[in-house]
Amino acid sequence: MSFDRSVKIAPSILSADFANFGQEIRAIEDQGADWVHVDVMDGHFVPNLTFGPPAVKAFRPHVKTFMDVHLMIAPVDPYIDAYAEAGTDMLTAHVEAGPHIHRTLQAIRAAGMKSGVALNPGTPAEAVTELLDLADMVLVMTVNPGFGGQKFIDMTAKIRKIRAAIGDRDIHIQVDGGVDPKTAPLVVEAGADVLVAGSCRVPGRLRRQTRNLWRQHARHPGQPDMSLTIAFDLDGTLIDSVPQIAASVNTGLAKFDIPALAEPTVKGFVGRGFPKLIEQVIAHLDLPADHYAPLHDTILQEYVTVPTPPSVIYPGALGALNTLRADGHSLTICTNKPYDATVKCLDDTGLAPLFDRVIGGDSLPTRKPDPAMLFAALDGAEKPLYIGDSETDAETAVAANITFLLYTEGYRKTPVADLPHSAAFSHFDALPDLVRSQASSV
């Protein structure tokens, strides 16, 4: 995957509810976190004590994005393999933690992780200039490490020096400490692209403000900002999931000795969320109402965990999404499919890295066509756009008063002419130009 220097938000779980880590990690990822940041402290290198490798290993199944582990410990080397085995994606060590940081970074990469090197506020930028070829990220501390909630220390001059030293190398600059909607633009303008949100638990708002700033700097001088936040429906819009859903439904029905349904029949039930699908299956088969709960749980379990015919990306969709990202647009998912099933589907199809935010059918108390889901997916964007395929999607866009583009080859049952939409397309090759034509009017 090509290097992505767009701004990423990495909320720290140090300020999470320790009794509900799974729910907390899911919540910050639902809000738009790109990475999950884990602060490891030993009570020696810094005056606080937090997590060890067993805790990080316990976090790993809950992290669907990227697990970024910041070691504030000394020594580092004896623990590198343990954090690799725990599932760490990026392991960052402090240049101040030992005399052989060069060897430490080599060992981190040798263990299969990306390597980061961190600098305390009192350590100059020059301390990492000879390490850049061994680092995937430089972490600039903007507080003295050890405690959350400290006041931001201005390190923008140091960030600029490091950015200049990096040049065109594929190295991130992360900032940790006192990052909030006021300080984030300062460090982004200086060259940072990964922001740790600690006491500030608002990754969605941080994302919107910092990414807008990054886009402004990424544009050519004089070029207007035409970037949008585009929410996509999933099933019937980007992927054909009917074979997978039908297989899961029929496998679940078989466990109750209920005859299978034809795939076209199941397709007719898709589009209003998993609970509604089960209701329609029960009504179609004239089953007692008390079958709902066991069928719902069994079929959902089959869908999320058991290998079935995979969902298929519609022709041209992957290329169109990559083009939209290259054009500077932020992409999100707004679907009635349950969140866990959505994340699994995005992972299985390789689409996950393209989306900044995912809102599933159980992320909020209500589902589409209630517009609350779409508002959550768009997260207050100034220039929103919604793309879907069905009557439900059209109703949602109307309720939200948001421009709607209709994909005509999905699961809709109503004639195109009878559905409210600003424009329609039948193949994804046409989508990037269609979005460009809409951008000036959104």
* Contact (CB, 8 A) for 204 and 32: yes
The helix-helix angle for 292-305 and 242-254 (nearest 10°) equals 130
Closest CA to 195 of 142, 146, 120, 234: 142
* Active site (annotated) includes residue 433: no
Q: Tell me how far apart the alpha carbons of residues 172 and 167 are, in angstroms, rounded to a whole number.
A: 11
Q: Tell me how far apart the alpha carbons of residues 432 and 378 are, in angstroms, rounded to a whole number.
A: 19
* Active site (annotated) includes residue 176: yes
The one catalytic residue among 30, 34, 39, 136 = 39
Residue length of the chain: 442
- What secondary structure, in 3-state letters, does the chain show? CCCCCCCEEEEEHHHCCHHHHHHHHHHHHHCCCCCEEEEEEECCCCCCECCCHHHHHHHHHHCCCCEEEEEECCCCHHHHHHHHHCCCCEEEEEHHHCCCHHHHHHHHHHCCCEEEEEECCCCCHHHHCCCHHHCCEEEEECCCCCCCCCCCCCCHHHHHHHHHHHCCCCCEEEEECCCCCCCHHHHHHHCCCEEEECCCCCHHHHHHHHHHHHHHHHCCCCCCCCCCEEEECCECCCEECHHHHHHHHHHHHHCCCCCCCCHHHHHCCCCCCHHHHHHHHHHHHCCCHHHHHHHHHHHHHHHHHCCCCCCEECCCHHHHHHHHHHCCCEEEEECCCCHHHHHHHHHHHCCHHHCCEEECCCCCCCCCCCCHHHHHHHCCCCCEEEEECCHHHHHHHHHHCCCEEEECCCCCCCCHHHCCCCEEECCHHHHHHHHHHHHCCC
The helix-helix angle for 431-439 and 317-326 (nearest 10°) equals 40
The one catalytic residue among 136, 176, 362, 379 = 176
Residues tagged active-site:
39, 176
